[in-house]
Each structure stands twice: as structure tokens, then as C-alpha cells.
């Protein structure tokens, strides 16, 4: 699963990297420990144009009876998206990019119960995008809450010694296809969700303070 990531690039860098306009209201501080239930930076297609939007991490499907379901739906497995009716609807109609510049997975120490957090990035700590799905849910007070989930896939050679899943990171071409609202072909979409090329990624151990979701400082990745 993917349960924690970073986004420390500024919004102007994000705008340039993804070719989107940055709303004046969306000037966010760097984050080194993004956790579920927080609002995260995404790109959705509106009126055939990609736009930045903040969505809550933890999918609450439109049909859900309780808001708490979002706590259990922070990830969606690529292999079953086209099989589960609730995900298939979103796969066809509500795809998004989730902007990040690194993510954490925990590696089991041999002969120990301890796990070491590993910080995984593209080489050069470039910006990238996870493949995501989003939905809108109306709470009992009538408020529309827009939420999202990160899609996971089988790991590449960098991540597999650490964990048996990794988030689906899209290539530049894959990002354009993922946001193309006219694309409804399951196989063409799922083809974009393969493990990102290992030769373009790296991983290193970092501070165990990342275990505390309240701690969100740059020294986590020092």
C-alpha cells in the first residue's frame, strides 16, 4: 500500500511541470509527511482542461452510507479496478493525477520486529504523479465532499525488496492518457498502471519520526 508521501516542491514548480495554472488561493507550504484524510494536490479534467484541485485522501464513494469508509480506501489495486463495479465507474469517468515528489514504504529488518522507513523518489527528486480516482459524496448536512484514492500496482526492482506493492506512477504520456475523458477502454487504461521503470528511481532509509503523522518537517528526509 501507499500510506505516506511528500510534496515539498512549490506550487509554481508544480504548475510548470504539469502545464496547469495555479490558482492564487492554492499556495501551500512544503509537506514531508502527507497522510490519509489530509487534503492533497491533484489534477482533474474540467471542461476538457486539466486543473489543480485539493481533494481529501481516502475515497468516499458516492453511494457510501458513512464517511468513515474513506479511512479504509486510501488505495485501490490496479488489478481489480475493471472488475469492481464501484471502481469501474470511476475508472471510466473520474480519473485524476495525484502530485508528489516522493513516498515512503517500510522495510522489515532481518531477524527483528523493527521496520525501517524508506524514502523512494525519482532520481533527482523530480515531481511525478500517482494515478488516482476521485468521487464526490454528500454528507448528512448536504455538504459535498470530494475525495480520492491512490492506485497501487506490482513493485519494480527498487521497491520489491521493501514492499510487495507500490503506487502506480504515470509516465508523461500516461498522464495525458489518464486524464483523457474520451478514453474508456479498460485495457488501454490499465496498461498505464504498470510499475514505473526501476532505473529511474532510488530509495534510501530515513528517520523513524515519519511514523508520527503529526511530524512534518524537512529533517524527515535528511
Element (H, E) at 43: strand 39-46
Half-sphere exposure of 180 (CA within 13 A, CB side): 15
Residue 44: count other Cβ atoms within 10 Å of its Cβ: 19
Marked catalytic residue, from 2, 53, 96, 148:
2
Cβ neighbours for 204, distance < 8 A, ≥ 6 positions apart: 118, 119
SS3 87: helix
Is 181 one of the catalytic residues?
A: no
Q: Whose CA is closest to 30, among 13, 46, 42? A: 13
What's CA 180's distance to the chain center, in Å? Answer: 18
Is 2 one of the catalytic residues?
A: yes
Q: Which residue has the cell 486510501?
A: 74
Contact 59, 37 (CB under 8 A): no
Marked catalytic residue, from 53, 96, 105, 148:
105
Q: What residues act catalytically?
A: 2, 105
Amino acid at each position: 500500500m501507499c500510506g505516506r508521501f511528500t510534496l515539498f516542491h512549490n506550487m509554481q514548480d508544480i504548475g510548470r511541470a504539469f502545464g496547469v495554472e495555479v490558482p492564487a488561493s492554492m499556495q501551500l507550504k512544503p509537506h514531508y509527511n502527507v497522510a490519509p484524510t489530509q487534503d492533497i494536490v491533484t489534477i482533474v479534467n474540467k471542461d476538457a482542461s486539466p486543473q489543480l484541485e485539493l481533494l481529501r485522501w481516502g475515497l468516499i464513494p458516492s453511494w457510501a452510507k458513512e464517511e468513515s469508509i474513506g479511512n479504509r480506501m486510501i488505495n485501490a489495486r490496479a488489478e481489480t479496478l475493471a472488475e469492481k463495479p464501484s471502481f469501474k465507474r470511476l475508472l471510466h469517468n473520474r480519473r485524476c493525477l495525484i502530485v508528489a515528489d516522493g513516498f515512503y514504504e517500510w522495510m522489515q529488518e532481518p531477524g527483528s520486529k523493527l521496520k525501517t522507513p524508506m524514502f523512494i523518489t525519482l532520481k533527482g527528486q523530480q515531481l511525478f504523479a500517482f494515478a488516482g480516482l476521485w468521487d464526490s459524496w454528500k454528507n448528512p448536512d448536504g455538504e459535498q465532499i470530494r475525495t480520492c484514492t491512490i492506485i497501487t500496482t506490482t513493485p519494480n526492482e527498487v521497491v520489491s525488496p521493501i514492499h510487495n506493492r507500490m503506487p502506480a506512477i504515470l509516465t508523461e504520456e500516461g498522464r495525458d492518457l489518464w486524464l483523457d475523458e474520451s478514453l474508456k477502454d479498460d485495457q488501454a487504461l490499465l496498461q498505464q498502471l504498470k510499475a514505473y521503470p526501476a532505473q529511474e528511481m532510488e530509495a534510501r532509509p530515513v528517520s523513524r519520526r515519519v511514523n508520527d503523522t503529526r511530524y512534518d518537517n524537512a529533517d524527515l528526509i535528511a
